[in-house]
Structure 1
Amino acid sequence: MSTRRSFLATAALAPLAASQAWADGAFPQRPIKLVVPNPPGGPSDIVARFLAESMRAELGQPLVIDNRPGAAGLIGSAAVANAPADGYTVLVTSRSNHIVAPLVQQGAQVDPPRDLAPVGLALRAVGIFATPGKSPWHSLREFIAQAKSQPGKLFYGSAGIGATNHIAIEQFKSLAGIDLVHVPYKGSGPLITGLMAGEVQLALLDFSSAQPGLKGGTIVPLVQTASRRLTSMSEVPTLAESGFARYDPSFWIGLAAPRGTPPEVIARLNKALDKALADTQMKARAQVNGWELVGGAPQVLEATIRQDMADFPPLVRRLDLKA
């Protein structure tokens, strides 16, 4: 066989050899970088550290956290999108940086749905529609009835213009047919303080950050975004039970890799994620923090992204949101 024919034959067999190597568990051979597009201490960072700890057992390599905050999460997203598509750089992604930020940030250099491949949907963080402790409403239906009787007279708060809970409540307003006035705060902390003080009558809060107010009675939950009632809030109805079955404003977190990452590598990472979510300690953490663990094939995250891409762009255009 000539040298040229020998080279062509070797080249033709290379992809098959690579696939067999992945199948035989050749990946990973070194530590994996887990990029968090947010500062330390936030929900995505907390989840990332738990996953890194649990996934290590299955992968046999450490997962090193790399916080890359900035540009509403797009700096971290771009770092992963531009990394080699070999599975050694993985993004901890969420609705905020994957969907909302590219719509709001002008001149974004990365398009996560286009540039990143889904690995898996880790969890949905349960949220609550909350009202001040001294408010007269005891259900979401009562609040909606009051809002309809007084259009433009009730206020809702958010963590800032363009924040996910800003857009989510605008979507809720449209579905419920009510008119509320938006009051943007500078972050979740000031928002919770404002809600407790009665400055606003409604806010969408994540379960864990609302805990002090719920325990102290200064915040009252009207409805929860969970698919099934959390044990710790068994008396609070879900959105589906309140007439909003298709509306899902929960804060999701998943993993994504650079587009073009070999399917075998995606499958390996996905398997490790599913095993981590099945871990007893992870389930205990989920119960405390109000997380609904999801898992499943990469297509589960892909379907979630596809639904968000249908829902959010029209809302952002209507609100004329620009960072």
Structure 2
Amino acid sequence: MRAFRIAAALVAAILFAAPAAAAAAYPDRPVKIIVPFAPGGGTDVIARVLAQRLGAMLGQTFLVENRPGGGAMIGADAVARSSPDGYTLLLGSNSELTISPSLYGHAPYDPATAFEPIALLGTSPAILVANLRYPGNTLPDVIAAARARPNSLTFGSGGVGTPPALAGELLKYMQKLQAVHVPYKGGGPLQVALLGGEVEVGFTTIASTRAQLKSHQVKALAVIAARRSPLVPDVPSAAEQGIADYEVATWYGLFAPAQVPREVADALRAATARAMADPEMLSRLDALGVEPGAAGQGGASLRERIRTESAKWGDLIRAAGLKAE
């Protein structure tokens, strides 16, 4: 009987030790990072640079797989449905996690519970720019002109439902303005429209307009944030200009499926933190117009960000009657 109890205890010890040993060995095969957008965009570039560094640090291959479509929800759903073992990850953004579910009217997953946030990789605040012939030079100038002549102001963006487009809709909502939104198919066409005078002002990303700002082809009126961005330090923030609680940014994060083993999540967080300190990684983020995230902005902080932004954008999208293109 005593021998039986000893044997049983040994079996139990082995069984309990097996998951820990498996987690400790992570990763022991290639890891896939799903990007829910087509190749070549900012999310894809960040994923590929991060994959190289995670692979070098963890001694295993990290592969990037593009699964675009459905407001970026197709790729995100593939991760949500995958085995929670840390071998399928999401390079996510607020598009599929806080905006598309309301814009499309549904999501096949709960953004706040379907994923384990590993790290916030970076943020890129929206920026308001104008063509050189526009008489205003500040955000209050734009508000005053729009209020004085309802529906006389036209503002462009890179597409319905993008964070910069929502910056325009949020300004209308907060300031009770009547203005005409002209969506273009991306930041590039918007810049052409601004230079040609098709629209007076535009909400866009810093990366999309940085070259035009440096060559003085357009002028910046405000960064849509509480503070100035180190990416364009000479441009005042919305808060500096008296518009409080007016903040809109595109952000990027690394996620695993919910229920991933804690040891695996911790290993990924530690490796990602080291990757984010790499000068080459920081250089690529700067080129993309992205402010790097900090280690403390992942985990529970990122999950709470998803919850609060989902409510914020859901309310705005419903109030403005916005629909996916």
User: Given the two structures, how large is their TM-score scaled by the length of structure 1?
Assistant: 0.90
| Deviating more after overlay: 296-305 vs 251-260 | 296-305
Question: Any residues of structure 2 matched to 1:151-162 within 5 Å, and which?
Answer: 151-162=150-161
Aligned to 1:135, the other structure's residue is in SS state coil
Aligned to 1:80, the other structure's residue is in SS state helix
Aligned to 2:32, the other structure's residue is in SS state strand
Question: What amino acid maps onto 2:318 in structure 1?
Answer: R
Which residue in 1 is equivalent to 2:315? 314
- Cα–Cα, structure 1 residues 76 and 6, in superposed 2: closer, same or farther, change >3 Å? farther
Aligned to 1:233, the other structure's residue is in SS state coil
Question: CA shift at 1:248, angstroms?
Answer: 2.3
Question: CA shift at 1:41, angstroms?
Answer: 0.6
Question: Any residues of structure 2 matched to 1:1-323 within 5 Å, and which?
Answer: 10=11, 14-15=15-16, 17-19=18-20, 21-22=22-23, 25-106=24-105, 108-225=107-224, 228-231=227-230, 233-296=232-295, 297-323=298-324
What CA deviation, in whole Å up to 9, does each residue of 1:119-167 have, x standing for no partner?
A: 1110002431111122111111222222222222101112233333222
- Aligned 8 A contact 1:155 1:182 in 2: yes
Question: CA shift at 1:226, angstroms?
Answer: 5.8
Aligned to 1:223, the other structure's residue is in SS state strand
Structure 2: distance between partners of 1:186 and 1:16? 53
Question: CA shift at 1:10, angstroms?
Answer: 4.1
Question: CA shift at 1:192, angstroms?
Answer: 2.0
- Aligned 8 A contact 1:74 1:108 in 2: yes
- Aligned 8 A contact 1:120 1:299 in 2: no
Aligned to 2:29, the other structure's residue is in SS state coil
Question: CA shift at 1:56, angstroms?
Answer: 2.1
Question: CA shift at 1:319, angstroms?
Answer: 2.3
Aligned to 2:68, the other structure's residue is in SS state coil
Structure 2: distance between partners of 1:218 and 1:124? 25
- Cα–Cα, structure 1 residues 8 and 136, in superposed 2: closer, same or farther, change >3 Å? farther
Question: What amino acid maps onto 2:152 in structure 1?
Answer: K
- Aligned 8 A contact 2:227 2:239 in 1: no
Structure 1: distance between partners of 2:77 and 2:218? 38
- Aligned 8 A contact 1:151 1:180 in 2: yes
- Cα–Cα, structure 1 residues 274 and 227, in superposed 2: closer, same or farther, change >3 Å? farther
Question: CA shift at 1:18, angstroms?
Answer: 1.9
Structure 1: distance between partners of 2:312 and 2:268? 29
Question: CA shift at 1:108, angstroms?
Answer: 3.5
Question: CA shift at 1:8, angstroms?
Answer: 8.9
Structure 2: distance between partners of 1:74 and 1:279? 30
What CA deviation, in whole Å up to 9, does each residue of 1:53-98 have, x standing for no partner?
A: 2222322212101011111111100111111100010001001111
Question: What amino acid maps onto 1:307 in structure 2?
Answer: T
CA RMSD of aligned residues (A): 2.5
Unpaired stretches in structure 1, ≥5 consecutive residues = none
- Aligned 8 A contact 2:93 2:252 in 1: yes
% of aligned pairs identical? Answer: 36
- Aligned 8 A contact 1:131 1:195 in 2: yes
Unpaired stretches in structure 2, ≥5 consecutive residues = none
- Cα–Cα, structure 1 residues 9 and 233, in superposed 2: closer, same or farther, change >3 Å? same
Structure 1: distance between partners of 2:136 and 2:309? 30
Structure 1: distance between partners of 2:277 and 2:313? 31
Structure 2: distance between partners of 1:48 and 1:227? 28
Question: CA shift at 1:265, angstroms?
Answer: 1.1
